[in-house]
Amino acid sequence: MTASETASSRRGLREWLRGGLGDPKLGDNPWLLAFAAFAIFTGFAGDFWRNLTSWYGFGAVSLAVLVGAVVILINKRPLPRLHHLPFPLLLFMAWCLASTIWSAYWPETLLASLVQLVTVVVGLAIAVTLTRPMLLRALSLAMRTIVGMSLVFEVIVEAFFPNGVFPLYMLAPGVLESLTGDPGATFETAPPGFKWSHGHIFSGAAIQGIVGNRNLLAMIALLAAIAVTVQLLSKQLGRWNALIWLVLSLATVLLSRSMTVIVACGVVAFAALLIWIARPLRTRHRWMLYGAVAVAMVVCGAIVARFHADLFALINRSSDMSGRGDIWWAVTQLAWEHWLAGLGWISYWAPWVEPFKGMLVVDGVQYLQAHNAYIDVWMQTGLIGVVPFVLLVITTLIRTWWLAIDGEQYRDNRIPHSAMLAFLVMVALTVQSLTESRLLVEGNWLLLSSLAISSKLRVQDLPALPRRTLPAMTGPITVIDASTLEPRPIPPTEDLLLPDSAQCHTGGDVDGPGGGRPDTPRRSSTDGT
């Protein structure tokens, strides 16, 4: 290898490290980044581990992630106190666990509550240890890895397995017969929905990727596109590297043929436009913007309700959104029977439990979700559970919005590009929650809980307007400063600006021009921090 080739290889490695595991010179901890990226990968690619290694293998991987999170939290001092965490999150978790008392399937309810709690613990570890640029790198690395592996996987299946492939654990004797309920079932007679991938990447039909689900793959690709775009603006990725991944991510969205995610792409782009419009506006003008957006949403909703059949026909979809109307009706009828307290928490439905056993079967495949997170929560936890869950989503949206647009909380009012990541991710997850229940489980729940915690630690008071909080309320969180900058003296009686794990009044993000100085870790701030 020539000297020029060696230099080029080293530059490529440095580029990958900057975009993936970060740069230690900027205060990034490669081990924390690797943990966060692997945890997010496992959360969103749970079906990959299950299809490859069975539920036992997935359980082992999940246990490893939990152990890593616990080790991180044990070594993190000090930790946030309970009252610093989002109250709707705590209330919702407590109610899910309490539903074990009246649940007709209480062992499954208890197990589902513990799994939900474990996911929150992992989200907490990410929220209190990763700075905003580090979270951006971890999310991007995880999503790009899934997208890249999925495209390679689909090409291999198309080339060598033209009839598609089944999950490897189904090769074990008796598994396929048990899943289909047919003693003589074979891979030729099994329902197509059991396949891991159909291998349609070159035939024009939808692809499933390593996650085995086109809707989930499309959402992962959208999150990859969001992260890569923010990295490009923040100069975490080189231009050509970012553009290649952006094209691959958007191509994956199209190849997945998920109309929900295609709509979400438009909504996310509109949300990014709103951030750009709102940042320079004064508070009074922002309220005018909110009013205009609310009117536009009402008008669009009325148009969709009035002409939904024609609109869905234009995109070659049924007016009930591919059968979701029937699913929502069936689940709603069940929810009305237990409208106040619910049947009992179970997250994704256990197919062996009544009343979910055989409740919704389409083409031989049993559906295990309501395809709407809010209807699902209502059925399982009743109105009492829906209220804190909806509040959790709304408050996280509002807090991440203010973190994206309010320049007063950043040094010299310079908002780093990475500040928009959390809000855009929340918008994407919220749109998907209207037609999928993924927000309640695995990767979506991991991101929701982590962003809810991190945004609460930075914005203690839910702002209808930008607010400031006293040091005693902000709690112990990690703050970042740049040692080359002199901290601004703050009088004892002055309210402190809201601290941020990637930004406080003594430092800034690494986000290119206008983004401040490189991040370097420092000990925590006030109130015992």
Q: Which DSSP letter does residue 521 get?
A: E
Amino acid identity for residue 195 in this structure: K
Predicted local confidence at residue 315, as pLDDT: 64
Kindly report the pTM of this predicted structure: 0.83
Q: What is the Cα–Cα distance from 2 to 341, expressed in whole angstroms? A: 70
Please indicate, yes or no, if residue 9 is contained in any of the structural domains.
no
Instruction: Please check whether residue 75 lies inside any domain of the structure.
Output: yes
Count of Cβ atoms closer than 10 Å to residue 188 Cβ: 6
Across the range 30-57, mean pLDDT stands at 95
Residue 450's SS3 state is: helix
With b for 16 or more beta-carbon neighbours within 10 A and e for fewer, the 142-169 pattern comes to bbbbbbbbbbebbeebbeeeeebbbbeb
Rounded to an integer, what distance in angstroms lies between the CA atom of residue 444 and that of residue 48?
16
The gap from C-alpha 123 to its chain's centroid, in whole angstroms, comes to 10
In a domain, 344, yes or no: yes
Q: Examine the pLDDT at 200 and tell me if it is beyond 80.
A: yes
Stretch among 352-361, 403-412, 419-428, 501-510 having the lowest mean pLDDT: 501-510
Classify residue 260: in a domain, yes or no: yes
Secondary structure class of 136 (helix, strand, coil): helix
- Alpha-carbon distance of 220 to 229, in angstroms, equals 14
Return the structure tokens found at 347: 């997250």
Domain-embedded: residue 16: no
What does the alpha-carbon distance between residue 169 and residue 188 come to, in Å, rounded to a whole number? 16
Tell me: pLDDT of 275 over 90: yes
Domain that includes residue 135, residue range: 25-161+199-460
What pLDDT, on a 0 to 100 scale, did the predictor assign at position 182? Answer: 73
Which residues are CB-neighbours of 159 under 8 A, at least 6 positions away? none
The pLDDT-based confidence of 413 (bands split at 50, 70, 90) is confident
Q: Which two tokens mark 475?
A: 């709690």
- pLDDT at position 527 is 34
What's the whole-number mean pLDDT along residues 374-396?
97
Residue 189 lies in a domain: no
Q: Which two tokens stand for residue 49?
A: 């581990």
Q: How many domains does the chain have?
A: 1
Record the tokens describing residue 27, joined without a space: 């205060």
CB atoms within 10 A of CB 365: 14
Whether 439 is in a domain gets the answer yes
Contact assessment for residue 480 and residue 502, using Cβ atoms and an 8 Å cutoff? yes
Closest by CA position to 20, among listed 134, 147, 131:
134
15 within a domain of the structure (yes/no) = no
pLDDT reading at 471 higher than 70: no
Give the chain's mean pLDDT: 82
